[in-house]
Amino acid sequence: MILVPTRICNTNKCSYCWVFKNDFEDLFFSEKNIENIENKIEIIAEKTNDYNIRFFWWEPFLKFWIIKKIIEKLDKKKYNFIINTNLSLIKDEYLKFLKENDIKLIISCNWDLYSHSTTRNLESDKILLLYENIKKVIDFWIYYQINIVTTPKIVDRLYKNFYFIYNNLWGKIFNLLPVNYNWWDLKWLKEFENQLDKLKSDINNKKLYIKFINKDVNNNVWLFNSEIVIDSNWKVYPSMVILESFFNEEKTKIQISDFYKEIKDIKDDFLFYENENQKIYEKYINKILNKRFEDIIENDKESSRIFSNFLNQI
């Protein structure tokens, strides 16, 4: 499940990002809200059998105190903790806490200097700092994955860029996000396939020892994952789609619960939350996505086919 500690982003410049970035005083988690959070999270974990807590979207380290408090309240033998981050705010003190509590990082790093600046619009000194910070994470022996986005503008560098991360940043575990949120035409998808073919050959010939975390391409909902999200305004939703600006008006229709409620009421909300309900939500979301993003979804299907072939052959 995903916990959103804040809807503020400290960089706010990525060319492919449509997430709704706004935060108001009354949306922040407060000390009081966190009082019973372990019991509320437990209800969702039991119901969905998901004991992975992922602090995600915008920049979670802006609210490190919240992350720390929540982790301290939960049973570490039961739960896994993951933080998605752009790593720009990391401090030794945070890294120490991550190490002590066995917290994993998913680091957004869009490849080499050129590719990162093209997709994330950052100045080179900020990108160099990111590379330095990844080295710090390695020095602290913290488990990390590299989250990489490739877009049509940089897809011809994909093969080269894997070697860049592999050799220079010691990345061995990858999460590749190839198409979502971008307009790809067939020419660029063909290039995507070419680049993956070269990569496949090196992986199968043991020239490159890398591993992909999510070998299953999850497409129940096009463009988005189905995963419970506890938003920064304390509402609970069934899919990451609610994080996007274009879904602001519809999201109340798929709200499952609200963490401001009493435990007993949250339990009631989840009483009938089963696969069947999940399918109904997915159907509704797909209907809206299909209506608004028909062409993008067609290309997403094609890219998923290419990507699935690649994953099945390595």
- The Cα–Cα gap between 151 and 188 comes to 9
Site for ligand SF4 in 77-96 (CB under 6 A): 86
Q: Cβ of residue 9: shortest distance to ligand SF4, in angstroms?
A: 3
Which C-beta is closer to ligand SF4: that of 11 or that of 118?
Answer: 11
Number of H helices, E strands in the chain: 10, 10
Which C-beta is closer to ligand SF4: that of 104 or that of 261?
Answer: 104
CB 24 within 8 A of CB 249: no
Which C-beta is closer to ligand SF4: that of 247 or that of 270?
Answer: 247
Q: Does 11 bind ligand SF4 (CB under 6 A)?
A: yes
Strand partners, 226: 239
CB 82 within 8 A of CB 55: yes
Site for ligand SF4 in 33-62 (CB under 6 A): 58
Instruction: Residue 132: name the closest of 82, 87, 84 by CA.
Output: 87
Could you tell me the two tokens for 91? 């401090």
Q: Cβ of residue 120: shortest distance to ligand SF4, in angstroms?
A: 6
Which C-beta is closer to ligand SF4: that of 58 or that of 281?
Answer: 58
Q: Does 17 bind ligand SF4 (CB under 6 A)?
A: yes
Q: Cβ of residue 249: shortest distance to ligand SF4, in angstroms?
A: 20
Strand partners, 230: 3, 236
- The Cα–Cα gap between 71 and 92 comes to 18
- The Cα–Cα gap between 133 and 115 comes to 18
Which C-beta is closer to ligand SF4: that of 88 or that of 201?
Answer: 88
Task: With contacts defined by CB under 6 A, name the span among 8-16, 72-80, 222-230, 259-267 that binds ligand SF4.
Answer: 8-16
Write a three-state SS string for 36-67: HHHHHHHHHHHHHCCCEEEECCCCHHHHHHHH
Alpha helices (runs of H) in 214-274, residue ranges in sequence order: 263-271
Of positions 14, 109, 179, 228, contacts ligand SF4 by CB under 6 A: 14
Backbone region of residue 129 per phi and psi (left: phi > 0; alpha: psi in -120 to 50; beta: other values): alpha
Task: With contacts defined by CB under 6 A, name the span among 13-21, 46-54, 213-221, 268-276 that binds ligand SF4.
Answer: 13-21
Q: Does 232 bind ligand SF4 (CB under 6 A)?
A: no
Q: Does 19 bind ligand SF4 (CB under 6 A)?
A: yes
| Secondary structure letter of residue 216 according to DSSP | S
Task: With contacts defined by CB under 6 A, name the span among 10-18, 38-46, 123-131, 266-274 that binds ligand SF4.
Answer: 10-18
Size of the site for ligand SF4 (CB under 6 A): 9
Q: Does 288 bind ligand SF4 (CB under 6 A)?
A: no
Contacts with ligand SF4 by CB under 6 A lie at 9, 11-14, 17, 19, 58, 86
